[in-house]
Structures are given as C-alpha cells and as structure tokens.
Amino acid sequence: MLDKLLTALLSNPIGLLTAASPFLLNYYNASQEELARQRDIRESTQKGASAIAFEIAKNADLLTYYNKQAVYAIVFRGLSICTENPDLPFCGEENTSVIPVSDTDTSNFQKSREQFLAWNTNVIARHAQVARFFGGDEASRMFESILRQIYLLECMTDAAYFRRLDSRFFIEDNDDDGKGSKRYLIDLLEIDPEECPRLHALLSAEPDEANKNPNDFRNKYTPIFTNLITELTDFGRLMFSNIESVQLVGSA
C-alpha cells in the first residue's frame, strides 16, 4: 500500500509538492523565528556592550582629567587641607607657592574626589559587565590592572592633599627632572607582575639604583598616570573592536 502511495506521489510532482507544503512551510517559519531570535539576542548584547564601553570610557576620561588637575594644584600651588583649615596642628608652614591656590583648583580637587567615589561605588557592577560582555582572560586582566592603578593614583592624591608625610603614597614637588630610576616603585607600591604585568615590566626595565627624590610626583605619580592612560586606551580599543566584530559573550 505504501509503495503504491509513493509511486503515485512521485508520478505526480504537483501532488508531492502539495503534500509536502505544510511541512516545508512549518520548517521555514521555524527557521525564520530562530534567526529572528538570534538577531534579537545579538542586537541586545551589542547594545549592552556599547553602553558599558561608553560608560567606562566616559568615567575614565573624567577621572583622569580631574585627578591630573588636582595633583598639579597640590604639588605646584600648595593646595591641601590646610588651604581651608590653616589652624590644624600640622598646618604650621605657610604656602610659599608663587602661584596662589584658586577656586578652580579647589573645585578640581573636589571633582576629582567625586569621580573616584563614582568609580569606586560601581566597581563590582562594572567588573561583572566587563566579564559578561567581553569575557576572556585578556579583558579581565586588563580591567583588574586598570583598577589597581586607579587605586594607586587615589592614594597618592589623598596622601598629598591631607599632608600624610609618612605615607608611602605621599607625593610632592622636589624640582626634580624626573629622570631618576622608577624601579623602586615595584616594592614601594607593591606592584604585582600578575596584577599589573605591563606596568611591572616597564618599571623592571629601569636601572636598579636609588632615586634621589622618591617622593617627587614626576618619579612616583607620573609613571603610574602615564601607564594608566595607555592601558585605558588599549582596553577601550579591545572593547570597541569586539563590539564592531560582534565577538561578544552571549551573542549568537
């Protein structure tokens, strides 16, 4: 009976097509629905990745800009907690800076602190989003290195502003030429080669000699700041490259 049915269908192509049409249509519809689902997932992932990439880039730009302005006001114009609280016990020395502290200096320092606060209060969420959208060891390692260096800059800025002279993070202006060895920073700031491989490699390449002015901001703050900018640029390039090529975790 089955043989006769197949023979009849094969001898009648139109009948065969008519019989198979519902199955073909269902298959086609299911395929289109799956493609649409994959497209929606990809677009949603791409939008989410773009949002976190722009958020990180914007916040990093604001943080590094205002922090640099604040540090320059501290080391060159004597901005400190003593500027507004000269009666504190440790504020005996008068500010001898040629250029006086301005309202802009004070404002930049406050904005720098606000940017550090905004960054620090969103670290876990931002780190989770980086892992979610960009995944992989490279992205995680780069982001962890950036977090560590931002922490170091914040510690240096606070130590200088609050006049913590005995802190290992204290920085000042010693009229140094900035050409002294920076190798001592590896031990002083506990820079781990696993956590900050690029920074550790750069400092390891420095001559192994004592620095005449280890607290000078050119020898302590500037190398960290400069390397951080480089790593932020590289990290931004990685994120946007993945977004453009849709090489994102969770994308179909």
pTM of the predicted model as reported, rounded to 2 decimal places = 0.81
Across the range 229-243, mean pLDDT stands at 92
- Alpha-carbon distances, residue 149 vs 16, 26, 44, 66, 199 (angstroms): 70, 57, 32, 16, 9
Torsional sign, CA 216, 217, 219, 221: positive
* Least trusted range by pLDDT, from 71-75, 146-150, 242-246: 242-246
DSSP letters for 5-50: HHHHHHT-HHHHHHHHHHHHHHHHHHHHHHHHHHHHHHHHHHHHHH
**Quick check: 5 pLDDT over 80?**
no
Tokens describing residue 125: 């969420």
Residue type present at position 171? I
Find residue 75's DSSP bridge partners: none
Place of tokens 């989003």: 129
Per-residue pLDDT at 135: 74
Q: How far apart are CA 35 and CA 67, in angstroms?
A: 48
Residue 201 has pLDDT above 90, yes or no: yes
Average pLDDT of the residues in 214-240: 95
- Biggest distance spanned by C-alpha atoms of the chain: 110
What does the pLDDT look like over 177-197, one tens digit per residue?
A: 767 889 999 999 999 999 999
> Which tokens in the block code for residue 32?
């289109």
pLDDT score of 252? 47
Q: Does the pLDDT at position 160 exceed 90?
A: yes
Task: Report the chain's mean pLDDT, rounded to a whole number.
Answer: 84
Structure tokens at 113: 């602190």
Asked whether residue 19 carries a pLDDT value surpassing 70, the answer given is no
Q: Are residues 51 and 74 in contact, defined by beta-carbon separation less than 8 angstroms?
A: no
Q: Given this model, what pLDDT does residue 138 score? A: 87
Question: Does the pLDDT of residue 125 top 80, yes or no?
Answer: yes
Question: Is the pLDDT confidence value at 55 over 80?
Answer: yes
Question: Could you give the 3-state DSSP secondary structure of residue 164?
Answer: coil
- 149, 228 contact by CB (below 8 A): yes
- CA–CA separation, 185 and 203 (whole Å): 7
Q: What is the pLDDT of residue 10?
A: 54
